Amino acid sequence: MAILVDLHHHLWLSVFGILGNILSGFVFLGPVSTFIEIYIARSTVGFDSLPYNLTLLSCNLWMYYGFIKENATLLIFISSIGVAAETTYILIFLIFATNQARCQTLKELFLCMGGFYLIFAVSWFLLPDEIRVSFVGWMSVAASIAVFASPINIVVRTYN
């Protein structure tokens, strides 16, 4: 009986994991229309790069978390798709940005990637395995919250 419950439990975990990956893939495709607009205009048209830099940070952290956590193949898979998508968006943004916007984007990118490498170094070299997974998980959650909060910056600037 316990084996049947365990198989049933794992089946639902797999089903919802795959559905979560599919939905996350659509989230990563969300900015495509924005970048088509940027490409057509040959300009960033006043768009901000911060959400894409923060999403790249978040995807890198979740991928790292997936590598240090057991049984996280789906997380590694969707995070790698996110890294590829966000890297593409940032490259397109950099190509069509003004010098000022390009400098701002590169500053954000270096800060985000520096944050990732700092979290990686601290967790890998200073924390024991059982604490490392929890620490990286919490840092990943914090980065995810920052991703979804970053558009608030645009709303505040628009209405001030």
Do 50 and 104 touch, CB atoms closer than 8 A? no
Residue 7 has pLDDT above 80, yes or no: no
Encode the chain in three state secondary structure: CHHHHHHHHHHHHHHHHHHHHHHHHHHHHCCHHHHHHHHHHCCCCCCCCHHHHHHHHHHHHHHHHHHHCCCCHHHHHHHHHHHHHHHHHHHHHHHHCCHHHHHHHHHHHHHHHHHHHHHHHHHHHHCCHHHHHHHHHHHHHHHHHHHHHHHHHHHHHHCC
CA distance 66 to 59: 10
Is 27 or 2 the better-scoring residue by pLDDT? 27
Average of per-residue pLDDT across 122-127: 97
Q: pLDDT tier at 4 (50, 70, 90 boundaries)?
A: very low
Q: pLDDT tier at 144 (50, 70, 90 boundaries)?
A: very high
Dump pLDDT digits (tens) for 68-116.
Answer: 998 889 999 999 999 999 999 999 999 999 999 999 999 999 999 999 9
Residue 15 has pLDDT above 70, yes or no: yes
Residue 2 has pLDDT above 80, yes or no: no
Total residue length of the chain: 160
pLDDT at 46: 86
Sign of CA dihedral 94, 97, 98, 102: negative
